[in-house]
């Protein structure tokens, strides 16, 4: 009997369309000989299965089943491709845990922890992982621009605490830009962090559970045409993504060790993509994405291809590893 795999995509955040693109690619490349696959759109106004003709079938939220051609379909596994809320922050995964349905992501607590940039940084710092100096601010708190600049300096980055795809992020160069940047970040989240600007090389590293082993994929160097790796740079071609990264063997070994350590510290499983800035040959950890983009042009598939791992193998492995858990 072939297992029924629900590929969940969409979500409730600004990343909904990016997630739908990733989900369509995952659906296209999972082996149909091994698995029965279903595209499941998780949207604010409806949860539905969408077939190849665009026909919709409602999901029963009581047990996450659906009825297609008078037959009730129960899912053996969920392949999580929801960027942001409720997939990447673990919310929907807690629901699947309650229903006893396996999924391709890390446990819901790990997902919530890594999605919360401030909490994630606080944890890894305790293990000696270098991070940028940062200032935390919640909506409604007094904004003291002088105090912020004194701590993090200029230029600096203003980021929503829980948002992806660079939504709501600003690079601030002048004092009068601080308040508008804070207001922009607050449109995405009620908590923000303001970080010092680290002037160095940006490296993004994919780590995953591959055949029961923690595997660090070939690293990617990000060279953005814009001020930083923002939405345009990520999705509209305004950056160079150089895989493998142009770094020394010594630095590569150091990054490989740190990336593995961080994956273990955070008790991760499934996919992860972490961002580092290299300053004077020292890596500084910025953040971890646990539902990274999975289109053919996305970074994790690029890195896997460099390693000789095709999309079908990449996605089938994720399913196999999750079914064994």
pLDDT score, position 168: 86
pLDDT at site 297: 85
What pTM, to 2 d.p., does this model score? 0.91
What's phi and psi for 131, nearest 5 deg? -135, 165
At 252 the pLDDT is: 97
Kindly state the tokens that stand for 268: 């991760």
- Kindly report, residue by residue over 85-98, the tens digit of the pLDDT: 999 999 999 999 99
Q: What is the per-residue pLDDT for 301? A: 96
Residue spans of the chain under pLDDT 50: 165, 229-231, 233-235
The tokens for 67 are: 């009825």
Is the omega angle on the peptide bond into residue 231 within 30 degrees of 0, that is, cis?
Answer: no
Tell me which residue of 286, 267, 312, 264 sits closest to 105, measured CA to CA: 267
What's the pLDDT at 166?
Answer: 67
Specify the pLDDT at position 310.
Answer: 96
Helix, strand, or coil here: 102?
strand
Both tokens of 97, joined, read 């845990």
Measured in Å, how far apart are the chain's first and last C-alpha atoms?
A: 19
- Residue 1, judged by CB atoms within 10 A of its CB (0-12, 13-18, 19+), counts as exposed
DSSP 223: E
pLDDT the model gives residue 122? 95
Nearest partner of 143 among 174, 185, 178, judged by Cα: 178
74: which DSSP letter?
-
What per-residue confidence (pLDDT) applies to 233? 47
pLDDT of res. 160: 92
């Amino acid at each position: 009997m072939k297992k029924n795999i629900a590929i969940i995509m969409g979500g409730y955040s600004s990343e909904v369309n990016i997630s739908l693109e990733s989900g369509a690619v995952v659906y296209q490349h999972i082996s149909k000989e091994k698995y029965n696959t279903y595209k499941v759109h998780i949207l604010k106004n409806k949860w539905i299965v969408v077939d190849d003709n665009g026909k919709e079938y409602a999901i029963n939220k009581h047990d996450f089943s659906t009825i297609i051609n008078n037959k009730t379909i129960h899912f053996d596994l969920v392949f999580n491709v929801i960027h942001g809320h409720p997939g990447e922050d673990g919310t929907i995964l807690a629901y699947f845990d309650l229903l006893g349905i396996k999924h391709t992501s890390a446990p819901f607590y790990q997902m919530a922890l890594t999605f919360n940039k401030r909490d994630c940084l606080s944890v890894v710092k305790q293990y000696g992982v270098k991070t940028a100096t940062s200032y935390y601010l919640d909506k409604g708190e007094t904004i003291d621009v002088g105090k912020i600049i004194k701590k993090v300096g200029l230029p600096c980055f203003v980021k929503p605490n829980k948002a992806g795809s660079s939504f709501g992020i600003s690079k601030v160069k002048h004092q009068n830009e601080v308040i508008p940047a804070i207001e922009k970040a607050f449109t995405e989240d009620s908590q923000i962090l303001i970080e010092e600007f680290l002037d160095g090389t940006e490296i993004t590293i994919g780590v995953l559970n591959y055949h029961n082993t923690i595997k660090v994929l070939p690293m990617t160097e990000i060279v953005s045409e814009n001020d930083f790796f923002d939405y345009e740079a990520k999705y509209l071609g305004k950056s160079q993504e150089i895989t493998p990264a142009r770094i020394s063997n010594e630095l590569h070994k150091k990054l490989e060790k740190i990336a593995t350590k961080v994956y273990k510290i955070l008790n991760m499983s499934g996919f992860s993509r972490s961002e580092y800035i290299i300053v004077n040959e020292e890596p500084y950890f910025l953040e971890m994405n646990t539902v990274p983009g999975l289109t053919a042009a996305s970074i994790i598939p690029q890195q896997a291809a460099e390693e000789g791992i095709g999309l079908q193998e990449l996605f089938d492995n994720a399913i196999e590893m999750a079914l064994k858990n």
